[in-house]
Amino acid sequence: MLEAHVADELLAAARQARERAYAPYSNFAVGAAALCADGRVFGGCNIENGAFGPTVCAERVAMFSAVAAGCRDIRAVAVVGEPERLLTPCGVCRQVMAELAPEAEVVMEGGGERLVMTVAELLPEPFELRTERGRTTR
């Protein structure tokens, strides 16, 4: 279970990352932060694109940054959006979490509410590639 002070620090990093969001089309800035087992924290913000398809969510930016820096054990992900409402990760981000951070806790905050769930609770039946013998390949 994620300790309260660790969740607070991770949410603060997500709020800071939110300030760097590039959201000229939706005007909906989102920030995220990924905590690695070694204590490193990687922030991410949503980055929109006029073609829409290339737009990337903050959660994926944070996790991809962690992986690009060599982190293979993401323990927690925090996500914040508008302070007035609780924001949960989209389905695509949940699927990426299931692959890159399957044991992680996800901390979400907004509207005066804080919610902590495991990735498995957010996405109980993720898509997985399987071999002929039923073992997951990654």
Residues in Cβ contact with 20 at an 8 Å cutoff, skipping those fewer than 6 apart: 31, 43, 45
pLDDT digits (tens, 9 = 90+) for 43-102: 999 999 999 999 999 999 999 999 999 999 999 999 999 999 999 999 999 999 999 999
How many Å apart are CA 80 and CA 106, to the nearest integer? 11
Q: 79 lies in which domain range?
A: 4-122
State yes or no: pLDDT of 32 exceeds 90: yes
Please tell me which residue in 3, 19, 48, 59 is annotated as part of the active site: 59
Say what angle helices 91-100 and 58-68 make with each other, to 10 degrees. 20
| CATH number of the domain to which 77 belongs | 3.40.140.10
Q: Is residue 20 part of a domain?
A: yes
Active site residue 19: no
Q: Is residue 135 part of a domain?
A: no
Residues in the chain: 138
